[in-house]
Amino acid sequence: MRKIWFITGSSRGLGRSLAEAVLESGDNVAATARNIDQLKDLSEKYPGQVLAISLDVTVNDQIQKAVSSAINHFGRIDVLVNNAGFGITGAAEAFTGEQVRSQLETNLYAPIEITRVVLPYMRKQRSGHILQISSVGGRVGNAGLSIYQAAKFGLGGFSEALAKEVAPLGIRVTSVEPGGFRTDWAGDSMAYAAKIEGYENTVDRRTELFQGGSFVPMGDPEKAARVMIDLVNHPEPPVHLVLGSEAIALLQQADLSRKEELEKWLPVSVSTDHHESVSFLDTKEGRALVNLKGNN
């Protein structure tokens, strides 16, 4: 049976690669973009398989209409892919209020709202898979990307909690966390804050990397698309899926640093237990277990 995919940001980048791969595999796609003229070639190449939908993911009324259109046309949504988004680079204090709001609205609030609109249909079906296109930047923080990564950290946390919430309903959730991929993320899809004094050796270096053309990502979006198609057919998909060797290296280093910091400050951490509590530290598992007297 053909799956029905609902993919946001289908006109470019990873969303475009995924839409093409899904259609090539024989499934159907509700493909959304702010400008659906950019989806015309897909509709022509795959007649009957594509429903092109105009959608600005930051407008709630449009979200409701887009999801309803997909349901009315195809009858269901089996896979939701929250892909639409953009990057933004600069010092935290240098962003305008509008830049901060726009980033959070697009990269965090929008996928949350789209997920909330689609969930009732998946709940009634007792099936579905939600792919949140996050980033390794949702697990590792870096200078110059504070607002972008605030959104991605939030999306990762939302996805992890949601996965536990909807698992009994037959709905699976995966936070897809790529490193650098050869899309236009660091090109046309990247916005910038104005430069300010004091960040020459941190934020400005990242800005120069992106704007200077020397940033050559290792990831292949077509390979990532094939992985995601396999993912939704896997009987036990992960809650977090990191993509790319660059991302793996960053995450391994971050995990090591966090473990070292946790162990260094462990005495301070456990010193805050209430005096009526009995604390147990299971060092083998790396877990701190606290049992309050009378609540064991």
Active site annotation includes 46:
no
pLDDT in tens, 205-230: 888 877 766 655 567 888 889 999 99
pLDDT in tens, 161-198: 999 999 999 999 999 998 766 555 545 667 888 899 99
Active site annotation includes 175:
no
Q: Give domain 4-264's CATH architecture.
A: 3-Layer(aba) Sandwich (3.40)
pLDDT at 294 over 50: no
pTM score, whole prediction: 0.87
Kindly state the DSSP code that residue 109 receives in the 8-state scheme.
I
Residue 59 neighbours by CB distance under 10 Å: 15
Active-site residue (options: 109, 146, 152, 199): 152
Q: Determine phi and psi for 155, rounding to 5 degrees.
A: -65, -40
Distance (Å, rounded) from C-alpha 184 to C-alpha 227?
20
Active site annotation includes 134:
yes
pLDDT band at 296 (very low <50, low <70, confident <90, very high): very low
Domain boundaries of the chain, sorted by first residue: 4-264, 269-296
pLDDT at 289 over 70: no
Distance (Å, rounded) from C-alpha 171 to C-alpha 132?
13
Distance (Å, rounded) from C-alpha 83 to C-alpha 277?
45
Distance (Å, rounded) from C-alpha 294 to C-alpha 277?
10
Q: Are 83 and 9 in contact (CB under 8 A)?
A: yes
Active-site residue (options: 46, 109, 121, 148): 148
Active-site residue (options: 69, 134, 146, 175): 134
What pLDDT, on the 0 to 100 scale, is given for residue 24? 95
